[in-house]
A and B are shown apart, each in its own frame.
Chain A
């Protein structure tokens, strides 16, 4: 299994500002994922973050809005840029451990944009 922590756990931000969310894993992992979960909805994949290469973004998500860093095999950040109220969501970091097919999630970051 993998233990994942995220910072911050929640935040309230003003429109037009940016927030960087950190994800730390207790073991080295190849694949890290960033998801968004809007109120009452299921999970939507934002991007896949691989160490040593640029993140791969899903349709509807762009690097300028959601820049991602992956400096090593245990850490990643997601920035939500130029925020609007529509960005209010829970943002979740997820990993798939090497040699296992199981997916694990962090506790999430609850973002409210005013």
Chain B
């Protein structure tokens, strides 16, 4: 059974710092990995989707990498801003079976001015 772990669980940083959020998974037979952002009490917003054949994806100040062999993905946030404050979740979709993704518990990020 796939297990997804996100470290750290919480992070508080001053504005302007570059950040790395980690997502690890136990089964490397994945179809894709997706990073989401969730504001308090709200739904999830898709940030980046990485297919199993890809190494990284970029969108603006965000860069996500994938290393299947080591079971890891990182989300890099450059020049963090207070508006980046949210919970960031990763979800891993398996190959075959039900194709139902497994979610991590998220990293709660606070960027203070």
**B79 interface residue (CB < 8 Å to A):** no
Is the CB of A64 closer than 8 A to any CB of chain B?
no
Chain B residues positioned under 8 Å from A43 (CB to CB): 44, 89, 103
Residues of A within 8 A of B36 (CB): 105
Closest B residue to A106 by beta carbon equals B43
Contact indicator A101/B32 (Cβ below 8 Å):
yes
Which one, B11-19, B45-53, B65-73, is touching chain A?
B45-53
Sort chain A's interface into a size bin: 20 to 34
Contact A102 B34 (CB under 8 A): yes
Does the CB pair A42–B42 fall under 8 Å? no
Is B109 among interface residues, defined by CB-CB distance under 8 A?
no
Which secondary structure dominates chain B's binding surface? strand
Q: What residue of chain A has the Cβ atom nearest to residue B101's Cβ?
A: A103
- Asked whether any CB of chain A lies closer than 8 Å to the CB of B100, the reply is yes
Taking the nearest CB of chain B, how far is it from the CB of A109, in angstroms?
A: 9
Minimum C-beta distance from A79 to chain B (A):
19
Chain A interface residues (CB < 8 Å from chain B): 1, 4, 6, 41-43, 45, 48, 90, 92, 94, 101-108, 110
Interface residues of B (CB under 8 A from A): 31-32, 34, 36, 41-46, 49, 51, 89, 91, 93, 98, 100-101, 103-106
